[in-house]
Amino acid sequence: MKIVVDENMPHALELFAEFGEVIPLPGRQMQAADLQDADVLLVRSVTRVDAELLATSPRLRFVGTATIGTDHVDKTLLAARNIPFFSAPGCNKYSVGDYVLSALLVLAERHELNLREMSLAVIGAGNTGECVARKAEALGMRVLRCDPPRARVAGQAGETGAFVDYQTALGADIVSFHVPITREGPDATFHLLDGEAIAARPAGQILVNASRGEVWDNQALLARQQGLEPLRLVMDVWEGEPEPLRALVPHTEIATPHIAGYSLEGKARGTWMLYQALCQQLGRAARQDLQSLLPAPEVRALTPGQPVDQALIKQLVHLIYDVRRDDARFRNRIELPGSFDEQRKHYPERRELSSLHVSGPFASDTLARLGFTVQPG
């Protein structure tokens, strides 16, 4: 069996070698010729799986993406060719949640904000959006959820009050976007934050995009940011990746190269979910487990010496992941050719909050809800 994988997919060699030959290739440069005798194709979001890529792949019988989003895959084509397709829903939701939490704590310190007194809206309340929402609730924030498809299902079931409409959500102090990119239909998300919505936002409002770059109109954002009343932007994704609108970067609070979901656990979890799916597809028992893939964290355990407040939470979160590291690397290297993909390919090791075990009398439920592993005592 020949298995073609994105070279940036962690642990692919260890997990899939038991099935056959594993061929790692640059995801953005995969071509049809690479798949002529491939049985399995495993990708990430940078590879477009379409008719052009699959033009000469008669042996292909399994396609998987180690990502939550699937907009880069022509699922209709795969179904027509009877090729099973698998994704990794929720694989990096904790990683993205940690990213948003880290960024909000940076902005809270920078602008002297009390997050407990603020509201946050998540646009898209799926796996990732809900994870962000729960972390915000753990901080004591008032959380609004906007998700029209889920709202319709809830309405049909007679459940009301769980969701707000888009315009209401845009009125929150902080608005965080966690939607797939869709260009058609009643819930299309392409330029969901368009020029009109951008112009209407109050000065200083915090907007976060850790979903897809095309969800925001980047040119309209640049025009707004060059005016007298800029917004506070946290941007992990960009229109035109891997060539973001460079002029917009200096006008952001936090800017990173599409790495919100790049925790060690998140990436390993995505690969492992595809490993499980292939085992199931072939009728084989899984021989490996997720935890065996992960190294011991640099900091394993900690005992707080005071009750939990925003300052202590910031210290603990940034001990594990401080988003300013990725922001600084991105800004420093933005002018280097190919730096966007290079930073993704050689991304430094980063753990999720769950890697830190917090114990002692101040190991509160708040810390557990934020994602730390808590051992009260």
Give the active site residues.
212, 241, 258
Note if the bond before 242 is cis, omega within 30 degrees.
yes
Classify burial at 289, counting beta carbons within 10 Å of its beta carbon; exposed 0-12, middle 13-18, buried 19 or more: exposed
Tokens representing residue 256 in the block: 């990173």
Compute the distance between CA of residue 17 and CA of residue 10 in angstroms, rounded to an integer.
13
Under a CB-based contact definition with an 8 Å cutoff, are residues 146 and 187 in contact?
no
